[in-house]
């Protein structure tokens, strides 16, 4: 999948095709973008090979991740008639396929944000390049601490959504710092009050049901939340240091407002994960 979409590597349809044949040999051909699913897409779209829609249909029939094979074949026919490209997720119709396609969608969003970050950095002057490593280090430390407390079920499918959100939030900050138009943060105080209120609610939902439970296990979720908050404050400080060092046109208050809004949204995600109304 990485070779086909260019995730962390240049697009290489040949290697994507070879890997797909290996996946078939290893009996990993059932998911939309694995094995037969990948080959179905490659041959239907003619990516690095001569277009062969009959062969694409043969690979489609090998997929086990679809409940309705006829519907998949009909979708291929419809795409051919309309002259459109086809993606295996276009006809997903069962839980496993939906999950894999959700992961793919969020992975695309995450890598798009990474590409945007690289493009921004490529146009920077020496001052920005020199100041960036410290900012990136603080952002990574915050992201790591935040991931531990944000995600309710470790390595659930929603992890990919969180990762994409992290990348897009950081890109938004970089864009604002990189000469973005300054907007008077007239409601900064109100936003900070909102953040504090949401943080208190997060502490409450992460507290044990038994208020007398002082065990380490009971205290761990709150300890993780406090660590994420500490890392966020360090990240805020690093953003301000970067702003000053690079003489950004963004004001200190406007930068803080952006960071406060992002942090509030992250904390609301914790509440939502515990069934709390936002």
Cα 252 from chain centre: 27
Distance of alpha carbon 195 from alpha carbon 87, whole angstroms: 41
Instruction: Quick: pLDDT tens for 213-259.
Output: 667 666 778 888 999 999 999 999 999 999 999 999 899 999 999 99
Determine phi and psi for 67, rounding to 5 degrees. Answer: -80, -35
pLDDT(158) > 60? no
- The residue with greater pLDDT, 244 or 97, is 244
Q: Place 48 in a pLDDT band, splitting at 50, 70 and 90.
A: very high
pLDDT(181) > 80? no
pLDDT(132) > 90? yes
pLDDT(49) > 90? yes
- The residue with greater pLDDT, 188 or 65, is 188
pLDDT score at 277: 60
Distance of alpha carbon 146 from alpha carbon 140, whole angstroms: 10
**What would the two tokens of residue 52 be?**
């062969």
Determine phi and psi for 28, rounding to 5 degrees. Answer: -120, 50
pLDDT score at 214: 67
Scanning the chain, the segments in alpha helix (DSSP H) are: 2-5, 13-25, 36-45, 53-62, 69-82, 95-122, 126-150, 158-177, 188-205, 216-245, 252-273
Instruction: Quick: pLDDT tens for 201-211.
Output: 998 888 766 56
**Are residues 246 and 177 in contact, defined by beta-carbon separation less than 8 angstroms?**
yes
Mean local confidence (pLDDT), 184-201: 88
**Are residues 258 and 171 in contact, defined by beta-carbon separation less than 8 angstroms?**
no
Cα–Cα distance list, 230 to 157, 225, 226, 262 (Å)? 27, 9, 6, 15
Q: Place 81 in a pLDDT band, splitting at 50, 70 and 90.
A: very high
Q: Among candidates 135, 168, 139, which has minimal Cα distance to 244?
A: 135
Q: Place 68 in a pLDDT band, splitting at 50, 70 and 90.
A: confident
pLDDT(156) > 60? no
Q: Among candidates 73, 76, 12, which has minimal Cα distance to 48?
A: 12
Mean local confidence (pLDDT), 106-124: 87
Q: Among candidates 157, 159, 185, which has minimal Cα distance to 255?
A: 185
Mean local confidence (pLDDT), 39-61: 92
Q: Among candidates 142, 159, 132, 108, which has minimal Cα distance to 242?
A: 132
pLDDT(162) > 70? no
Q: Among candidates 234, 264, 39, 277, which has minimal Cα distance to 169?
A: 264
Cα 168 from chain centre: 8
Cα–Cα distance list, 150 to 10, 39, 70, 214 (Å)? 32, 36, 41, 22
Cα 135 from chain centre: 20
Determine phi and psi for 86, rounding to 5 degrees. Answer: -130, 140
pLDDT score at 135: 97
């Amino acid at each position: 999948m990485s070779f086909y979409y260019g995730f962390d590597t240049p697009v290489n349809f040949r290697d994507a095709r070879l890997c797909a044949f290996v996946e078939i040999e290893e009996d990993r051909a059932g998911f939309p973008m694995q094995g037969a699913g990948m080959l179905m897409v490659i041959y239907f779209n003619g990516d690095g090979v001569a277009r062969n829609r009959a062969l694409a249909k043969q690979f489609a029939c090998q997929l086990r991740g679809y409940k309705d094979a006829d519907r998949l074949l009909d979708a291929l026919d419809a795409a051919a008639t309309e002259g459109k490209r086809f993606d295996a997720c276009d006809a997903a119709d069962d839980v496993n396929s939906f999950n894999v396609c959700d992961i793919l969608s969020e992975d695309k969003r995450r890598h798009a944000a990474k590409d945007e970050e690289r493009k921004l950095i490529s146009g920077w002057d020496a001052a920005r390049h020199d100041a960036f490593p410290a900012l990136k280090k603080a952002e990574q430390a915050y992201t790591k601490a935040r991931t531990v407390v944000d995600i309710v079920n470790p390595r659930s499918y929603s992890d990919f959504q969180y990762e994409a959100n992290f990348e897009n939030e950081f890109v938004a900050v970089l864009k604002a710092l990189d000469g973005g138009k300054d907007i008077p943060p007239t409601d900064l105080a109100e936003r900070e009050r909102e953040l504090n209120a949401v943080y208190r609610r997060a502490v409450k939902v992460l507290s044990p049901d038994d208020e007398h439970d002082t065990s380490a296990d009971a205290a761990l979720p709150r300890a993780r939340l406090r660590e994420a908050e500490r890392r966020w404050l360090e990240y805020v400080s690093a953003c301000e240091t970067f702003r000053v060092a690079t003489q950004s046109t963004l004001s200190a208050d406007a930068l803080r407002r952006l960071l406060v809004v992002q942090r509030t949204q992250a904390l609301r995600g914790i509440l939502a994960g515990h069934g709390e109304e936002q």
